Amino acid sequence: MDIVFVHGWGFGSDVWTPLAGRLPGNHHFINLGFIDGFDDSPAIPDNPIVVGHSLGVLWAMKHIEAPKTLISIAGFHDFTKAQPEAALRAMQRRLSKDSAGLMADFWALCDSPLTYEAGRLNTEKLAKGLEWLQNWNVALQKMHCTTLCLAAMNDNIIPKNITAKEWNDVHWSEEGGHILPLTKATWCAEIIEGFLDAIDTQGDHCE
């Protein structure tokens, strides 16, 4: 079983360490480059199980062809439904002037126990990620595979009502914030394992 993990904006692949350690299979970690010091992305295997966090879900929907299963953690199809484009443009302006301050505020808003030193911030890639958030959207109804969404009721980044509208099958945590792979790793792993055990993924794929 090949599992591809795709992290979200403002984080590195180490966001997956607590969760991946609880899941079986061959693990492949995509590095979007927001934080320096991580290995380059591996080749993506054919028809993998995809687990994405936040922007990583959207990236996976646009770049990984025909996954067997898509598992979203605090993910979305169109970020501008959750946060106004004006807020993203303000983040872009602040990123160029005060990247450390912006990211500290963002990690706090995410309720993240994981932060990074200012010297590891790749502002060019972070700016590109903000462009993706403004310009990318993918319609879930165009996909034809099993999907699962995990989300927190107290997510400060993606409001509960947006998640409920965009996903058909949502498992809710009462707490944990936006960064469930870190704050609720055991809870995420139990739901994901149960989900994978309950479905027959042979032949299923997203298009």
Q: Is residue 204 part of a domain?
A: no
Domain count along the chain:
1
Find the angle CA(169)-CA(173)-CA(175) to the nearest 5 degrees.
Answer: 150
Q: How many CB atoms lie within 10 A of CB 10?
A: 25
Q: Is residue 51 part of a domain?
A: yes
Q: Is residue 207 part of a domain?
A: no
The CATH number assigned to the domain holding 165 equals 3.40.50.1820
92 SS3 class? helix
Q: Is residue 80 part of a domain?
A: yes
pLDDT tens, residue by residue, 116-141: 999 999 999 999 999 999 999 875 54
Q: Please report the pLDDT score of residue 204 as a whole number.
A: 52
pTM of the model: 0.94
* Residues in the chain where the model's pLDDT stays below 50: 141, 201-203
Tell me the two tokens of residue 174: 């009462």
Domain ranges, residue 133: 2-198
